[in-house]
Structure 1
Amino acid sequence: MPRLLFLCTLLLTLNASLVSAEVKVADFDSIELFTLTNSNGMVVKATNYGAIITTIEVPDRNGKIADITLGYDDVSGYMNAVDKPYFGAVVGRFGNRIAKGKFTLEGTEYTLALNNGVNTLHGGNIGFDKVVWYAEMVGDKGVKFSYLAKDMEEGYPGNLSVSVKYTLTDDNEIVIDYHATTDKATPVNLTQHAYFNLKGEGEGTILDHELVINALRYTPVDATLIPTGELAPVDGTAFDFREAKKIGRDIDQTDEQLKFGGGYDHNWVLNRKKEDGELDLAARVVEPTSGRVLEVLSTEPGVQFYCGNFLKGNLKGKSGKPYDYRGGFVLETQHFPDSPNQPNFPNTILQPGETYDSKTVWKFSTDK
């Protein structure tokens, strides 16, 4: 779809909604791509459209560089993507799902767009992944994206001022810093939706990747992928990743939870040992052939592990190769899905005068 046709479609969507993101033609003319490099040859590229990370190039155990995140060569690919894969984007104002697109806050019921069956997903029809952020470089290895989500945008209360900063270190780390303030109480749950394939984007499935998730429990879901409220033990289930195992080892077990998600698409309750606000290990992934290793550290209480169950091979990425079924995995550090409707889950309501601060680090290395 040409950009102009996409824009007309987007504007029609805006006009059909009572309050939605205020996207203008001029915003699309300010889209930029930023490149970060370090002393080890690692390259990270990000655009202010959706605060999307488009490229992550890292070496394997032999020093061979490959791009290990799924995405497109041109911003039009992200604008026109079918099946809403959210490749590399920051999602919000509330990442993940909210049941039936409703929540009650301080006595008022708020109604959101239903963009995932009967539920709301990743902020609504025009979430943070589909708007143009203000961008500025931070030194020579960082870029900061900022956005003001207006009161009642996509149905959420409060003017929310939000920023995300990506910093590339010489230790092959991508440091992701989120910050937000509001003038009304509002749910906030920001996360990064990068898909990884440590063999290289477009290089087949990720089922042979070896995964550890630092969690004793996970949150089971109903048939629409909304948590039931239970914090269930992983012990004795296909959801036990306390010790390294191949992603594909148990994925086809006869299990109602796996059936609901079409595989793994669930939130794990992280076994945090550090104080709130400090980084702790969430997950570790090793790709045996290349030796590439990804460690995910975060201040968040949960991580959504999703293994590309909705990829169908109909999307072609930067290499021109199709993104196969289960051709990428996502580790979304987060608060739990549907938290505004689940009083026993960690709080996601940001109040005026408070600040939302969250940090996640992706650390890349090799296993010799």
Structure 2
Amino acid sequence: MPTPPPGPTSVTLTAPGLRVDLLSTGAAIARVELTDGHGDGPVDVVLGHADLADYGRVRDFQGATIGRVANRIDAGRFRLGDRPVEVPPDPDEPHALHGGPEGFDQREWALVEATDDRATWSLTSPDGDQGFPGEVEVEVRYAVTPGRLTVEHRATTAAPTPVSLTNHSYWNLDGEGAGDILDHTLQVDADTYLPVRPDQIPTGEVRDVSGSPFDLRRPVVLGEALAVDDEQLEIGQGYDHHLVVPGGGLRRHAVLVGGSGRRMEVWSDRPGLQVYAGAHFDGTVTGPRGVAYGPRAGIALETQAFPDAVNQPHFPSVVLEPGQTYASTTEWRFG
């Protein structure tokens, strides 16, 4: 495998009306610039850091590849067959989050190839990495075409181990630094969602969205939906929940529309979508335009497997076996 570079490397992909900047730290999306007639000029619709070095210093997952296991693992503990596995907890909570404190988002990835419209990054995760067994080889492949950005995740393993990868970009379709996303509308093609305990671990129930703020089958204004008095919204400080998208294969998961009218569809072959409405932004992170991000500065729409699936046997398994290839595709379609 290619040797990772000593410091951040950036790559720019272009297609008519679309520019995407990628970064070796976390194999991250650092910029998605659209020229689409909805503004006076090109608009960057993904949140980022003003200083590229902050992608490795500030762990807020912006634009990053998440692994080995996206989302939370209860107490960082699970069993793999007869073997107990323990992943270090997140510094701010009692559970493992997004692959452990030194997850894939913190790594320098190696650039395998890059052209004007596509790039591939690779990473070797050694046996015992963050407590996970088995050496895992990972690739992240980005490509652009007019109005579309695609990411493909690939992984193989030398021993049975859980693998659940995602991208953790925050979106503001009016432009990063343009304010909050409360005037955006969101639609998610999900009939059920996973309610969580007060510590944000799924209860195990797969609950019908009907009659709840999680019924996003028709577009809702985020500010109105987040203002609803609901126990689950209180736990997550708004949306921080997994919505289950029925069906299989590449299918539409969500539609986000900004106050500007700019539209993005999220398509994926993953089981569902973690919707996180950016409650944690508190003005301490400054974006590329020099604007500090306040609450709801962006929304994350993370295509992924069920959270804590390693501890909940009735959830679809995320264990990858030797000889298998983990493969997933997500597309962001702009209009």
Q: Fold-level match, TM-score > 0.5? A: yes
Q: Is 1:135 equivalent to 2:111 in the alignment?
A: yes
Shift of the alpha carbon at 1:303?
Answer: 0.4
Is residue 72–residue 318 contact of structure 1 (8 Å, CA) maintained in 2? yes
CA distance in structure 1 between the aligned counterparts of 2:216 and 2:89, rounded to whole angstroms: 32
Partner in structure 2 of residue 68 of structure 1: 45
**Amino acid in structure 1 at the alignment position of 2:102:** I
Letter in 2 for 1:325: P
Post-superposition offset of 1:287: 1.1
Partner of 2:280: 310
How much does 1:60 deviate?
A: 4.1
> Of residues 217, 227, 236 in structure 2, which corresponds to 1:252?
227
Distance 2:171 2:200 in 1: 22
CA deviation vs aligned residue, 1:106-141 (integer Å, no higher than 9, x gap): 110101101141100000011000111111334421
Change (3 A) 1:80 1:73: same
- The alignment status of 1:59 with 2:29, answered yes or no, reads no
What are the equivalent positions in structure 2 for 1:195-274 lying under 5 Å apart?
195-272=170-247
Report whether the alignment pairs 1:97 with 2:47. Answer: no
Larger mean CA deviation between 349-358 and 248-257 belongs to: 248-257
1:360 aligns with 2:297: no
TM-score by length of 1: 0.87
CA distance in 2 between counterparts of 1:62 and 1:306 reads 25
| 1:150 alignment counterpart | 126
Q: SS at the partner of 1:178?
A: strand
Q: Does 1:190 align with 2:165?
A: yes
Q: In structure 2, what is the equivalent of residue 36 of structure 1?
A: 13
CA distance in 2 between partners of 1:62 and 1:263 (Å): 28
The alpha-carbon deviation at position 203 of structure 1 amounts to 0.7
Once the two structures are superposed, the pairs formed by residues 286-297 of structure 1 within 5 Å of their partners are: 286-288=257-259, 290-297=260-267
Aligned to 1:320: 290
The one of 88, 98, 104 equivalent to 2:63 is 88
> Tell me, what secondary structure is at the counterpart of 1:305?
strand
Deviation at 1:226, TM superposition (A): 0.5
Deviations 1:154-176, CA, capped at 9 Å, x for gaps = 00011000111010112x11111
Partner secondary structure for residue 35 of structure 1: strand
Q: Structure 1 segments of 4 or more deviating over 6 A?
A: none
Q: What does residue 16 of structure 1 align with?
A: none
Aligned to 2:301: 331
The DSSP-based 3-state class of the residue aligned with 2:99 is coil
Supply the distance in 2 between the matched residues of 1:143 and 1:74 (Cα, whole angstroms): 22
Structure 2 stretches lacking a partner, 5+ long: none
| Count of aligned pairs | 331
Alpha-carbon separation, structure 2, partners of 1:147 and 1:97: 22
Pair 1:158–1:294, CA change in 2 (3 A): same
Any residues of structure 2 matched to 1:96-135 within 5 Å, and which? 96-115=71-90, 116-135=92-111
- The answer to whether the 8 A contact 1:61-1:291 is kept is no
SS in 2 for 1:249: helix
**Contact (CA 8 Å) 1:158, 1:184: kept in 2 or not?**
yes
Provide the C-alpha distance between the structure 1 equivalents of 2:309 and 2:95, rounded to a whole number of angstroms. 13
Write the distance in 1 (CA, Å) between the matches of 2:310 and 2:76. Answer: 11
Distance of 1:216 and 1:243 partners within structure 2: 11
1:24-72 alpha-carbon deviations (Å, 9 max, x no partner): xx956342100011123x1100011110110000134346311111112
Aligned-residue Cα RMSD (Å) equals 1.3
Q: CA deviation at 1:256?
A: 1.2
Identity among equivalent pairs (%): 39
CA contact 2:4–2:110 (8 Å) conserved in 1: no
Is the 1:314–1:323 contact (alpha carbons within 8 Å) kept by the matching residues of 2?
yes
SS of residue matched to 2:238: coil
CA distance in 2, matches of 1:30, 1:87: 18
> 2:267, 2:307 → 1: CA distance?
19
Q: Distance in 2 between matches of 1:121 and 1:31?
A: 24
CA distance in 2, matches of 1:248, 1:257: 16
Shift of 1:90: 0.4
TM-score (norm 2): 0.96
Q: Any gaps of 5 or more consecutive residues in structure 1?
A: 1-25
Distance 2:30 2:68 in 1: 21
Shift of 1:252: 2.2
